[in-house]
Chain A
């Protein structure tokens, strides 16, 4: 059974074609600069065949049409007929309060998704475009929507509510939703496959550290808290986002700098975080290199970045009454050994006995980084959000 997973961004389409018999990836690729100058599609087949085709790709529908064209082509394709694709799974960023799990997509679901657009005006519209396009191009093929927010819908009101007038929650749905749900779900479930920890009877903290970063407290397999809020700006310090910031400071900045909503949005989303503090880059490798040369602001940015993660780990251990495992994932979590070391440094009181030797230089490999006697296991588990989407799609299809 073959499943196509599609992740539509504002000007890009990422995709993977899975054979769910053995969960292998038949092909993966990217359509970039959709609707812009220099658009292209890049496809990689599992036998190593790679092709990059440049040309005009004006919208998501056209982009997906070319993806399907390449996948079924004689020369670079992985399948003969489109009908071999039995289902399509879409990543959808925001599911609001309506979607607490993945759903099979029909017209009612689409119109509910359209209602949720105002909660994620930048992300949800392109996700929907992908769904419309597949409806057009592969009519009748079952589609499934997998939401970034759904995994965190198990949070209790005491953790998802903001201390603002309750009427605002009722009126506009202002509350914490959390993101990176598929990633937190994948690595926590994967942990129980590869360790002696039973996900249904455990306290796990998952750190998804990429350019966007969030951390989640997962008790007995359910998300009980996560650092991102109504938008992906809250929580950890990120590549270009502030993370937690006193809203009083924000209104003060708006007044002093005489800036409106748009500039404020750009300020907290693009000028802040690691790049804002270091003034070097949002790319952790470049910041680390600058820190090694003694750049004080780069060093400060790194220390702040690690400090925030540690603070959240402490908080989440407190709310769960302890922790059995800490998992690092995402580009930085999987690759930055210094960051991992500095985050867990000093957590011995929680029961962490860290294996420094194993951590040193470790990049992108699934491994237990704690010593045998450690009460808290520390893991690196590479994430695979696409596979979660593919699995959910199959599950929904089978239960239909």
Chain B
């Protein structure tokens, strides 16, 4: 008979669930994939949930491609990739979340995706299968977390957590507690954030957190400057980069965030606060309508090829011709 490790414990205090973290990620699009890599790279098991088997497959491909890209930029090795993938499981079945103590909702709420559940549906569905003390986290940056929490039987387990993109390299994570969030939940979350090597920025119940509320007006103002003909995209970016030591200028940042996503942020913030500084700039609206989303569509304020910026302006500048 095979001997059991537990038989060799010195004391009976060795519980099988002490200190272990397992993470569930619902929605494995680009952000979900990035979160999967981030968590698994820290040695933590991840199970992600997608809406169809095809999506599960394409998410795995996405994860694999993202890691290959990191390897080609020297950030990981083939050995790291094998280790990461060995800790990841993908499924369409919510029951797979049963033994996760942290579940992160990272769904894409684009209107044109069919059969896409809402965040509230996702939260309700997940709560039915997870353990009593498991956390439910939303990665949405402009929602009111209390709204989502109110859907739950145990609202104390809901927390808004904003993983600022690129999640793998950004060192801080914004934590937005709602008034119901209890101490146990926040402590468990802090443990998790430390385990993935990040620092916590605590936010007191503010949709848009710090990062989104500051970045949105700046991008809007940059669009104003552009529309008034004050300067060019490249010059405005360069001013902020070189003048204020920012890593990227507002237009480069907008392209990287994705103009469609940015529009959602802006709408969310404008609805919440009613302040015109958050109102989507007409130039961004126009670009999104024509399918110019930034880096991902290879066309935004700049043109891109294989994720790299090209030395020419995006086709927005030809729209009037």
Contacts and interface: CB of A to CB of B under 8 A. Distances in A.
A137 B10 contact: yes
Interface in A55-90: 55-59, 62, 65-66, 68-70, 72-73, 75, 82
B87 A65 contact: no
A11 interface: yes
Interface centre among B10, B86, B169 (most CB of A within 10 A): B10
B75 A266 contact: yes
A101 to B, nearest CB: 32
A51 B43 contact: no
Contacts of A137: 10
Nearest to B19: A58
Interface centre among A53, A68, A258, A264 (most CB of B within 10 A): A53
Decide if the interface of chain B is mainly helix, strand, loop or mixed.
loop
| Range for the number of chain A residues in contact with chain B | 35 or more
Contact of B20 (A11, A58, A72): A58
B73 A257 contact: yes
Nearest to A54: B5
Contacts of A68: 10
| Range for the number of chain B residues in contact with chain A | 20 to 34
Contacts, number: 70
Interface stretch (A33-41, A219-227, A362-370, A383-391): A33-41
A107 to B, nearest CB: 24
Interface string A222-255: 0000000000000000000000000000000000
Contacts of A40: 5
A75 B3 CA distance: 11
Contacts of A37: 45, 86-87
A40 to B, nearest CB: 8
Given A53-B3, A260-B169, A70 B8 contact: yes
A65 B9 contact: yes
A65 B9 CA distance: 6
Interface in B1-39: 3-6, 8-11, 14, 16, 18-20
A119 interface: no
B77 interface: yes
Interface string B78-114: 0000000011000000000000000000000000000
Interface of B: 3-6, 8-11, 14, 16, 18-20, 43, 45, 70, 73-77, 86-87, 169
Given A55-B6, A58-B19, 14 more contacts: A51-B3, A53-B3, A53-B4, A54-B5, A57-B5, A62-B18, A68-B10, A69-B10, A137-B10, A263-B74, A263-B75, A266-B75, A266-B76, A266-B77
21 contacts: A11-B43, A36-B43, A41-B5, A53-B4, A55-B4, A58-B18, A58-B19, A58-B20, A65-B9, A65-B11, A65-B14, A66-B5, A66-B8, A69-B10, A70-B8, A137-B10, A258-B73, A259-B73, A264-B74, A266-B76, A271-B77
